[in-house]
Structure 1
Amino acid sequence: MNRRKFLGLTGGSVAIAGITYYALSDKSNFVRADLKPVTNVNIQLTADERHILYLASLAPSGHNTQPWSIKHMEPLHWIICNDKSKWLPAVDPTQRETILSIGAFIQNLEYAAHNLDYRCQFNLMANTNQDEKVMDIKMIRSGDQFRYNTNSIVQRRTVRSNLLSEALKTEDIRLLVDNEPDLIHFIPSTAKAYRYLNEQTIEANRVQSYRDAAQNELADWIRFSNNDAEKYQDGLTPGSMEIEGISGWVVRNFYGKSNVMGKSFRDQNIDQVEKQVASSAGWFLITSKDASVTNLIETGRRMQRLFLKVRDKNIAIHPMTQILEEPYTHQGLNASIGINDPVQFILRTGYVKDYPEPVSLRRPVDRLIHS
């Protein structure tokens, strides 16, 4: 979803909104830079703990639900937990995507700890995707020379629009695949599988857009107004959906859940997906050997490592998971693309001329902690 998507929906609304209302309403998207620091701190964290958890929280998640919480055992000893209130049962009924997102969170956490000269001791606690306690982690001073540059974590963002069809350079593909060709698969735009993924992404979005449970769930996680964005500090905002300018103003001030459930919104979403898949350099598919908790967490970490490399190369990543979320399209995927292992991520990719700043919201660290 982006500005072009909403032009058709919002043109009439702008005409009747009026100059007076505009003067009193939200004139720009609420973005990450607008978040205010928390002053009512309940749990005393060290400066290092707070920094590490903030960077970890910048991991991506479906609908930006941020499905993680932290049980604070003692300084530098935590349990990473699976927050049931952030699940997406309509599109992720087995919590597969939840565990993948927690894996990305863990990767950020480890990189952030390395940056402050800690090494992490991990102990997996979860046996299923639904277990509350996922990973026990202790951080110990390491004295290592390696210090990960966490600027890549801060600057990471999903880019949906303006991907170029220019082929990725061989050296860039090699960097992103990272000697794991059996787990990270690049499908260039010249491949037959590329056309299949384009077609099935459109079809999966068509199915999902008209599946009321999925559409209702989406509506629950869209923060249309700046007030809601500031209140919840999660979910999808006009800024993160790349809805800017006049269209963004109309959406922030006139749109709500009922619009998402309407036919016009659903059709516009499908139309926008068609435009998106028509322009890219290809797809990255990330697989795992099986769907165990261990391998899902590692696959989430693998995806995040890839995601943190792309900005320096002006490469965009746009996760488009709908094929995996809809049984109708998922069942034929592996046979059609010639991959045996289960696919866990489908990432649209391509170069961009200008890389936008990150805008998706994050809940403050203190809201992640419980004793």
Structure 2
Amino acid sequence: MKPTEPQTKLSRRSFLKVSGAALLLLSGGGLYRAVDQGVFSTSKGPAYEPWAIHAVNQADLSDKAPERLVHYAILASNAHNTQPWLFRVHADRIELYADLSKNIGTMDPYFREMNISLGCAIENLCLAAQAHGFEPNVKLLDGDIDQAKVATIDLSPSSPHSSPLFHMITKRHTHRGAYDSNKPVSVALLNEMSTLSDHASSAKLLLHTDQQMKEQLGSLIVQATEAIVHDADQARDSHRWYRHSQDDIHRFKDGTTLDATGNSTLVRVFGKMLSISEKSSNAYWLKSTKEVHIPTASAYGSIVLATRSKAQLLEAGRLWQRIHLWATSKGIALHPLNQVNERLDREQQMNLTPHFGDALRSIVGGHGEHVFLFRMGYARDQALPSPRRSADEVQLQ
């Protein structure tokens, strides 16, 4: 059965109602609040400058300072937009550290998502290094899972080589909105995506395109989202990264925002004008998962590992970043849906019945240990950027 297409068009009557409500909200003090909440300054201001200043041009690529590479590393995909990275830059190497203060608590008790996020930064850094005339040699440090120093990237002089993926770094954004259910990702592109796994890496990509498997995964994702919403600790730890006010966005320069949810302009305007509680935010997340994310997914992808060590989680991150950059170059939208893994980790932490753990093991079979899940499709509109801390703010002296 074909998934029901989400309702995206307003009737004339609904449009008039919405327009009238908008005028009421914007009248009097509402106009002041609209300005204060950034209704008229979407994706603008200090928190978004890192995306704008990295236009790829010859002057940029001629800058051989290793510090320049950090500017690209910070634009990597990362869990809950926590940006859990710190860099120490030397003349011939860059050291990467986990910023343990950015852990998501009960949403990531074993630092799975944190280390995957750090792997994404490594991939961006290596692509930037090659484009700027360095040959990167990555050494992953496979110590304790929460060890602060995670990698050293040695840099030796080389001929500049700009990968097509490098040029996608400033264009890549997570798209959390509806995808076009009438436009599936082609088999040829799925086959090309499946080749992105590095044969030397332990991280491997599995694609799920069978309708029965898609329905099974969709149901599992909804169940996991419901479980998180009804788990007071996880609900709190997830919501505390939501940045609603304009002041918070530009003060923290991290976290999730209403603009990055993939909603229509009208929904985002109303959302910014209203106060959003943890309960209402989580209820909306669950509703979007059920009515938008699952029904419009063209296919799903999983990243699996031989074992879930820190070094292999970093490799998983490198693979995810590579996949996302490649997909951006093909016009394919991607969206991590890691609720099932977040519940698996919670089951282990609390010694609960392994409902989600057993389900994931059944799905991947003997291919390895499941650590990451995402959906894909063709988006109907452009994804908006998330806030970013600047390169200067994440460098250690």
Normalising to structure 1: TM-score of the pair?
0.86
Distance 1:18 1:294, change over 3 A: closer
Matched with 1:242 is 262
Shift of 1:205: 0.4
How far apart are residue 13 of structure 1 and its match?
Answer: 8.6
Q: Does residue 311 of structure 1 match 2:328?
A: yes
The answer to whether the aligner puts 1:24 opposite 2:24 as a matched pair is no
Is contact 1:30–1:229 with CA below 8 Å preserved after alignment? Answer: no
Partner of 2:350: none
**Aligned position for 2:379:** 352
Distance of 1:24 and 1:155 partners within structure 2? 32
Consecutive unaligned residues in structure 1, runs of 5 or more: 39-45
Match of 2:147 in 1: 131
Q: Are residue 273 (structure 1) and residue 273 (structure 2) matched? A: no
1:194 aligned residue: 214
Matched residues in 1 for 2:306 and 2:205: separation? 12
Counterpart Cα distance in 2 of 1:209 and 1:223: 18
CA distance in 1, matches of 2:180, 2:157: 44
- Residue 303 of structure 1 deviates from its aligned partner by 1.1
Q: Give the C-alpha shift of residue 88 in structure 1.
A: 0.8
Q: 2:195 aligns with which of 178, 181, 184?
A: 178
Q: Residue 387 of structure 2 aligns with which residue?
A: 361
Q: CA deviation at 1:94?
A: 0.3
Give runs of aligned pairs for residues 279-298 of structure 1, distance below 5 A: 279-298=296-315
2:238 paired with 1:218: yes
Shift of the 97–110 alpha-carbon distance from structure 1 to 2, 3 Å rule, reads same
> In structure 1, which of residues 169, 193, 201 is the aligned counterpart of residue 186 of structure 2?
169
SS at the partner of 1:167?
Answer: coil
* 1:74-123 C-alpha deviation (Å, 9 max, x unpaired): 32422100101100121110001111110110000000011101011222
SS in 1 for 2:107: coil
Change beyond 3 A, Cα 1:3–1:53: farther
* Partner residue of 1:147 out of 162, 165, 169: 162
Cα 1:253–1:281 change in 2 (3 A) is same
C-alpha displacement of 1:168: 2.0
User: For residues 74 and 213 of structure 2, what CA distance do their matches in structure 1 show?
Assistant: 34
Pairing partner for 2:359 from 317, 320, 332: 332
Query: 1:209-240, CA deviations, whole angstroms, 9 ceiling, x for partnerless residues?
Result: 11111111122111101111111111111111
Q: 1:213 to 1:16 in 2, by over 3 A?
A: farther
Q: Is the 8 A contact 1:155 1:358 kept in 2?
A: no
Amino acid across the alignment from 1:98? M
Q: Distance in 2 between matches of 1:61 and 1:31?
A: 18
Match of 1:48 in 2: 65
Where does 1:247-266 land on structure 2 (aligned, <5 Å)?
A: 247-256=267-276, 259-260=277-278, 262=279, 264-266=280-282
**Counterpart of 1:21 in structure 2: which amino acid?**
G
Distance 1:343 1:337, change over 3 A: closer
Report if the CA contact (8 A) 1:125-1:135 is conserved. Answer: yes
What is the alpha-carbon distance in structure 1 between the residues aligned to residue 115 and residue 100 of structure 2? 11
Relative to structure 1, the CA distance from residue 202 to residue 29 in structure 2 (aligned partners, 3 Å threshold; closer, same or farther) is farther
Query: What is aligned with 2:54?
Result: none
- Among 252, 270, 275, the residue aligned to 1:232: 252
Cα distance in 1 between the residues matched to 2:7 and 2:248: 20
- Cross-structure match for 1:62: 79
Cα distance in structure 1, aligned partners of 2:266 and 2:282: 21
Structure 2 residue aligned with 1:83 = 99
Structure 1 residue 32: Cα displacement: 5.9
C-alpha displacement of 1:22: 2.9
Q: 1:249 to 1:277 in 2, by over 3 A?
A: same
Structure 1 residue 316, shift from structure 2 partner: 1.0
How far apart, CA to CA, are the structure 1 residues paired with 2:104 and 2:92? 30
Instruction: Give 1:117's match in structure 2, choosing from 113, 133, 146.
Output: 133
CA contact (8 A) 1:320 1:346 kept: yes
Q: Distance in 2 between matches of 1:77 and 1:337?
A: 38
| Offset at residue 339 of structure 1 (A) | 4.7
- What's the CA shift for 1:255? 2.0
- How much identity, in percent, do the aligned residues show? 20
Question: Structure 1 247/29 Cα, relative in aligned 2: closer, same or farther at 3 Å?
Answer: farther
Aligned residue for 2:255, secondary structure, equals coil
Distance of 1:47 and 1:13 partners within structure 2: 54
Structure 2 match to 1:107: 123
Question: Could you say if the C-alpha distance between residues 63 and 32 of structure 1 is closer, same or farther in structure 2, counting changes exceeding 3 Å?
Answer: farther
RMSD: 2.7
Indicate if the aligned counterparts of 2:176 and 2:260 stay in contact, CA closer than 8 A. no
Q: Which residue of 2 aligns with 1:42?
A: none
For 1:43, the equivalent position in structure 2 comes to none
Q: Which runs of 5+ in 2 are unaligned?
A: 1-5, 9-13, 51-62, 345-354
Number of residue pairs matched? 350
